[in-house]
Amino acid sequence: MLNKKKYTKLVDAVTYAIGLLNFELSKTQFKIESDDISLTEMRHYMPYTLQETSRSGIYILLNRNYQPPGSDRTTSIPIAKYDDFTDFHIPLTPAQLNSVKSYSHGIFGDSDAPWISSATAKAYLFRLQKLFRILKELEDNESGCDIYINLTEAPSTILDPRWSKYVI
pLDDT in tens, 70-128: 776 666 556 667 777 777 789 999 999 999 999 877 999 989 999 999 999 999 999 99
Phi-psi region of 57 (alpha: psi -120 to 50; beta: other; left: phi over 0): left
- Judged by average pLDDT, the poorest of 13-27, 45-59, 68-82, 150-164 is 150-164
Query: What pLDDT does residue 138 have?
Result: 87
* Cis amide bond preceding 91, omega within 30: no
Residue type, 103: Y
pTM comes to 0.77
Percent of the chain with pLDDT over 90: 33
- Whether the Cβ atoms of residue 82 and residue 69 lie closer than 8 Å to each other: no
- Whether the Cβ atoms of residue 97 and residue 91 lie closer than 8 Å to each other: no
Q: Look over the chain and give the mean of its residue pLDDT values, rounded to a whole number.
A: 77
The whole-number average pLDDT for the span 15-44 is 86
The DSSP string of 41-74 is HHHHHS--EEEE-SSTTEEEEE-TTSS-TT-S--
Half-sphere exposure of 155 (CA within 13 A, CB side): 24
pLDDT score of 21 more than 70: yes
Residue type, 75: T
The whole-number average pLDDT for the span 47-67 is 89
Half-sphere exposure of 22 (CA within 13 A, CB side): 18
The whole-number average pLDDT for the span 142-161 is 41
Spatial distance between the Cα atoms of 97 and 85, rounded to a whole number of angstroms = 19
Instruction: Please classify residue 29 by burial: count the beta carbons closer than 10 Å to its beta carbon, then call 0-12 exposed, 13-18 middle and 19+ buried.
Output: exposed
More confident residue, 161 or 100: 100
Query: What pLDDT does residue 8 have?
Result: 53
pLDDT score of 144 more than 70: no
Percent of the chain with pLDDT over 70: 74
**Nearest CA-CA partner of 55 in 25, 32, 89:** 89
Number of residues that this document lists for the chain: 168
pLDDT score of 145 more than 60: no
